[in-house]
Amino acid sequence: MPNIHFIGFSKEKYEAIKIKVDVILKKIGLDKDAVTTFHPWALVESCDGRRIEMPYIHIFSSTVKHILDIKKAFIENELFLDIESSDGSFIDAATMREK
């Protein structure tokens, strides 16, 4: 069961992205299995003194195929986010746009 954590997003941004995520998960047949978790109090900031907000999602799944399918579907549907995943990988939004 994939669990997509939203970390560092405002409630408004989360709500807007969540709608897109639900549509994408339905397209790839994971809408009945996947869940999302919203961390509203997480403040993710750069450590370079500028304190730039840097929200990201983390995809947890015991099945690497689910992680790869979700990332691929996000790219195909032009949902570009910084993504960390439980398979140990990370892809940033800019790299996703290039694919």
Instruction: Please name every residue paired with 56 in a beta bridge, in sequence order, or none if there are none.
Output: 7
* Residue pair 60/86 in contact by the 8 Å Cβ criterion: yes
Tokens of 2: 């994939």
- Looking up residue 15, the CATH number of its domain turns out to be 3.30.429
* pLDDT tens-digit series, residues 3-29: 999 999 999 999 999 999 999 999 999
Distance (Å, whole) CA 67 – CA 81: 14
pTM of the model: 0.93
DSSP state of 54: -
Range of the domain at 26: 3-98
pLDDT in tens, 44-71: 999 999 999 999 999 999 999 999 999 9
Counted domains in the chain: 1
